[in-house]
Amino acid sequence: MTGGWRVVRLCGVGNYTDKKMVIGILGGIGSGKSSVAAEFGRLGCGVIDADRIGHELLNRSDVKSEIVDCFGESILGIDGRVSRRNLAEIVFSDSEKLEELNLIMHHRIIGRAEEMISEFNARDDIKAIVLDGPLLIETGLEKYCDKLIFVQCDAKIRAERVAKKGCFDKKQLKIRENFQISLDRKAKLADNVVINNSGLPFLVEQVGRIFSQYGL
């Protein structure tokens, strides 16, 4: 948390003072961060999905070219697009490779997030802005947040969720999280905690309570 309202310098779009509250969502893989963000969206908040931004950037011509130059054409799928699975197999087995990918992607993700913050700030129908991303702290996006919410979920449940989606298994989940800041540290940084071990109704109730607490 940055400690209350602040002046944020957004690249190329000027200075903004006392604009809409920015809420960052933290949590482990499969914890339900996107579900929490979506509920805030339903309540009238503008949601910035950093993961989606990254996916969209992967196949932008300049980004794709730089990634292929760095990792080779083996990261391309049969459709000629960057395969997230192929890329993940490379970078999550070599910390140096992951850092190379971060150097390509992170500043671009931050740049697009800044643009979206500016766009949402200009809209009267948006009550607050939510930043949802798996690497919110690792990319430095938390510096834009006035409040941080940690989504707490048991490891077993998270593993079951990602396996059900066909993303990766429990071992791969552990490997990926080893490259992230620990969940304990993220929880300590948070202003509020949402427990997501049960169904959607309980999650909705908790988000609603926090929404009211923030005066939105």
- Residue 72 gets the label, from left (phi > 0), alpha (psi -120 to 50) or beta, of left
Are 20 and 129 in contact by the 8 Å Cβ rule? The answer is yes
How big is the chain, counted in residues?
216
**Could you tell me which residues come within 8 angstroms of residue 179 by beta carbon, excluding any fewer than 6 positions away?**
92, 95, 98
* Average pLDDT over the chain, rounded to an integer: 86
- Tally the C-alpha atoms within 13 A of residue 8's C-alpha that lie toward its C-beta: 24
Confidence at residue 4, expressed as pLDDT on a 0 to 100 scale? 36
- Considering the domain 19-211 in this protein, what is its CATH number? 3.40.50.300
For 100-157, the pLDDT digits (tens) are 999 999 999 999 999 999 999 999 999 999 999 888 888 888 899 999 999 999 988 9
Are 152 and 26 in contact by the 8 Å Cβ rule? The answer is no
What's the first-to-final CA gap in the chain, in angstroms? 18
Query: pTM for this structure?
Result: 0.84
Domain boundaries, the chain: 19-211
Who has greater pLDDT, 176 or 193? 193
Are 154 and 73 in contact by the 8 Å Cβ rule? The answer is no
